[in-house]
Amino acid sequence: MRRIFFACLFACLPFVSPAEAQIVAQVSIAKQEMIVTHHGIEVHRWPVSTARPGFITPKGAFRVQSMHKRHFSRLFNNAPMPFSIFYSGHYAIHGTTDVRRLGRPASAGCVRLHPEHARALFEMVTRQGPAHFQVVVGS
């Protein structure tokens, strides 16, 4: 019941347009790459891991649902998800300990980053405010 409430709550919140977002994380599934822009200027380009075969990384434009500096997955054996920025249900951008697989599909659907990159993004979003951040996931 709680999940339904929060899903309805976030669905009713106003959407942040790219023009209003100060920070945009553009994720390319094909390139396994994230480009972070601040006020339209590229500030970071990082390798990521998105969904491996059999899983999906949802495509679209999303806003922050929640942020957690220290999070452990309840779905995947308490896997560490440092500097998590949740944007679509249980999907998040977060750090990974499996850095050797960055740059190719390896996740169960989340967007994985090097822990230092996840920390940098988390801190940027915290400074500017989650309402000024947008995640855009495309092919």
**Whole-number pLDDT of residue 18:** 47
pLDDT > 90? residue 97: yes
**Whole-number pLDDT of residue 74:** 75
Tell me whether residue 5 is in a domain. Answer: no
Tell me whether residue 44 is in a domain. Answer: yes
Tell me whether residue 38 is in a domain. Answer: yes
Least confident of 6-20, 81-95, 108-122: 6-20
Please report, for the domain that includes residue 73, its CATH number: 2.40.440.10
Name the domain count of the chain: 1
**Whole-number pLDDT of residue 78:** 67
Tell me whether residue 71 is in a domain. Answer: yes
* 39 CB-near residues (< 8 Å, 6+ apart): 22
Tell me whether residue 7 is in a domain. Answer: no
**Whole-number pLDDT of residue 12:** 40
| SS3 of the chain: helix, strand, coil, percent, to 5 | 20, 35, 40
Range of the domain at 23: 16-138
- Span 32-74, pLDDT tens digits: 999 999 999 999 999 999 999 999 999 999 999 999 998 777 7
**Whole-number pLDDT of residue 81:** 86
Tell me whether residue 78 is in a domain. Answer: yes
pLDDT > 70? residue 3: no
The model carries a pTM of 0.83
pLDDT > 70? residue 2: no
**Whole-number pLDDT of residue 75:** 72
From CA 85, how far away is CA 101, in angstroms rounded? 20
Quick one: pLDDT band at residue 77, thresholds 50, 70, 90?
A: low
Tell me whether residue 8 is in a domain. Answer: no
